[in-house]
Amino acid sequence: MTEQPPTAEYRIEDLAHLSGATVRTIRAYQDRGLLPRPERRGRANVYGGTHLARLRQIAGLLDRGYTLASIKELLEAWDAGLDLGGVLGLVAEIDGPWTDEEASRISRPDLDAAFGGTSDEEAIAEAVELGVLERIPGEDDEFLVPSPQELAVAAELHSAGVPIPAISGHLREVRGQVEHIASRFLDFTTEHVFQPFLDHPPTEAEAAEAAALVRRLRPLAQQTIDAELARAMRTLATRYLRQHLSEALPAEALRSAEARSLVRSASDGAVREQAEAGGRTPTEAGAGSVPEPRSAPGPSPVVPAAVGTSADPRTAPDPGAVPEAVLLPAEAVRAVRALVGAENTAAFIAAAAQREVQARTMDALASGGSGSGR
């Protein structure tokens, strides 16, 4: 018969050293009912291997994000003899990676090169605090990178001109917002999917079913965020571009752009009206480009502009009408050209004249007059 090793016995200080917990934490666990009371021997408390194992279980569950209250329920179920294999499987499923991205390493020279070639101890310390970098014990010249994609984004932003403190501040802000979204997604799925598994300590079969649901729903949060982020960026980027361009462009350029838009609408309307009446377009009727104004004495020199005419303004343009030269003030031609460009000047003048003729015709018909000019 083999001799059994003696049962391990510890003082509270020894138990704290072996478990990594403090003496104060061990006593707090006892008060909460998470840890069995020690055996009393005279004036000394004696702890055993079960206490050490229990402390390590608690530490593992705390690392996975469990609260002390939920840990107490799990341990009570375990002590009651319930099979927690399925529950621990569910814990492992939730605690597993939520991304296919794999961690990598980066040397200090490569890190400095990725951010402009300058070593910045303060920036590295902040990156470590944010978890973008992790120090490797015993290796001062190399870092662990939990998310290479996140580090690559930061490097690209910096190369585009964004200062490192601004990148860190942006990451802190985004992280808070994303954690809020993740919390809302968990609340949503808990209410509608996982609540039946959480009302009581789940059986092994229920825990296995819940773990399968976690695997099934795991990608949905990221897919939803990806789709909504793409939609929002498309909408807001267009809006931002318009807003900033409108602030940057001079008022004259904006007015010119608006005038060109109005000219295109007016010209299109005139073309449609003449086409429906069997007439020709302004260009076909002789409304070509207006020649450059010639210098001439006098306060208001004039230049010829070829526009089609009609015998009666209430009738459609005559298809056989010969273009007629009309003298316009050079100042007016220059103003139109500044608004719409040389290539649209003639079309603008023709459309404006046509619109004025139609307006006067409507006024004359409404008043019962002959439609002649006032």
Q: What angle do CA 252, 255, 260 make, to 5 degrees?
A: 125
Nearest to 338 by CA among 263, 258, 256: 256
Cα torsion angle, 7, 8, 10, 15, sign = negative
Task: Tell me which of 252 and 103 has the higher pLDDT.
Answer: 103
Residue located via tokens 């598994």: 197
Per-residue confidence (pLDDT) for residue 101, from 0 to 100: 86
The counts of H helices and E strands in the chain are 14, 8
Confidence tier at 91 by pLDDT (50, 70, 90)? low
Helices 49-63 and 68-79, packing angle to 10 deg: 140
**CB 19 within 8 Å of CB 34:** no
Q: Rg of the chain's alpha carbons, rounded to an integer?
A: 41
**CB 144 within 8 Å of CB 133:** yes
Per-residue confidence (pLDDT) for residue 6, from 0 to 100: 46
Query: Once rounded to an integer, what is the mean pLDDT over residues 223-244?
Result: 87
> What are the beta bridge partners of residue 84?
none
Q: Is 131 left (phi over 0), alpha (psi -120 to 50) or beta?
A: left
The residue type of 283 is T
Per-residue confidence (pLDDT) for residue 304, from 0 to 100: 52
Task: Tell me which of 370 and 87 has the higher pLDDT.
Answer: 87
Looking at 20-163, which runs of residues are DSSP E strands? 39-41, 44-48, 104-107, 134-136, 139-145
Report pLDDT digits (tens) over 261-293.
554 544 454 444 444 444 444 444 444 444 444
Confidence tier at 328 by pLDDT (50, 70, 90)? confident
Percentage of residues of the chain with pLDDT beyond 90: 22
d(Cα 211, Cα 91) in Å, to the nearest integer? Answer: 8
Count of other CB atoms within 10 angstroms of residue 204? 16
Helix (H) or strand (E) holding 302: strand 302-307
Per-residue confidence (pLDDT) for residue 125, from 0 to 100: 93
Cα torsion angle, 286, 287, 292, 297, sign = positive
Alpha helices in 138-194 (DSSP H): 148-159, 164-189
Q: Report all structural domains of the chain as residue ranges with CATH numbers, in order of start.
A: 9-81 (1.10.1660.10)
Q: Residues with Cβ < 8 Å from 191, sequence gap 6 or more?
A: none
pTM above threshold 0.75? no
Report pLDDT digits (tens) over 151-199.
999 999 999 999 999 999 999 999 999 999 988 988 888 888 888 877 7
Cα torsion angle, 148, 150, 153, 157, sign = negative
Torsion angle of C-alpha atoms 248, 254, 256, 259, degrees rounded to 10? 160
Report pLDDT digits (tens) over 345-360.
888 888 888 777 777 7
> 292: which DSSP letter?
P
SS3 for 329? Answer: strand
**CB 256 within 8 Å of CB 338:** yes
Is residue 103 pLDDT above 70, yes or no? yes
